[in-house]
Amino acid sequence: MLKLNEGWRIYLKTLAWLGPFSLVSYLYTNWRTDQVIRSFDVYFDIELKLPLVASAAYFYCGLILFLLLPPLLLSPVKLRLFLRQLFIGCLVALAFFYIFPAPLAFIRSEPANAALELLYLVDRPNNASFSIFQFYLGLITLACFKELSTVKRSILVVLAVMVGLSGLLIWQQHLMGIMTAWSCAIVLRLTIRESADPV
């Protein structure tokens, strides 16, 4: 029988409820943004001139690998703190989605590969004011950075930049949503530093 260490048990136990909570909140606010009469424009005109780079969809899927890092690199105490920050960030995202409904401005064309086709099928974002994808990426990168050697830190940063930029290149996110998400991750890492209770 497969035995999980404490870190994986903490991680999976929390994601068992945080995952569905985030998904339902995201889907509801996406639907709400699609229904509201007045919404916000949160993009720069220059963004709409960006070419669609369909192959970047494969880098976008790299977030899955980042999601595996916290239980592998963080101690149970640091992992609990990370998960607390993750939950608070999800609440911040929900507030952004609800208060600042902002539909995606990109007019997405026919998908050019399997990864992009699947992504466009399951995720048609209307919440461009805050990118939950970028928040996860930013918080994981910041949490795991100090746990690595200098060389591995460099690799982590390069991969984070590649995965992060892919959201723009496949017309999935806007710069404003990326900046608010990373800012939220930085603020949470700087302000919520005390030892967390078990989640």
Band of residue 199 on the pLDDT scale cut at 50, 70, 90: very low
Give the global pTM: 0.90
Within-domain flag for 72: yes
| Residue 79, both tokens | 């992992």
Within-domain flag for 1: no
| Structural domain for 43, as ranges | 6-191
Mapped onto helix, strand or coil, the DSSP state of residue 146 is coil
- Residue from 41, 13, 192 nearest 106 by CA: 41
Within-domain flag for 165: yes
What's the number of domains the chain is made of?
1
Band of residue 123 on the pLDDT scale cut at 50, 70, 90: confident
Within-domain flag for 52: yes
Within-domain flag for 199: no
Within-domain flag for 196: no
Within-domain flag for 14: yes
Band of residue 198 on the pLDDT scale cut at 50, 70, 90: very low
* Gap between the Cα atoms of 16 and 2, Å rounded: 18
Within-domain flag for 93: yes
Contact 129, 42 (CB under 8 A): yes
Cα–Cα distance list, 12 to 5, 7, 8, 21, 68 (Å): 11, 9, 6, 14, 11
pLDDT of residue 1 exceeding 50:
no
pLDDT tens string 49-97: 888 898 899 999 999 999 999 999 999 999 999 999 999 999 999 999 8
Contact 174, 40 (CB under 8 A): no
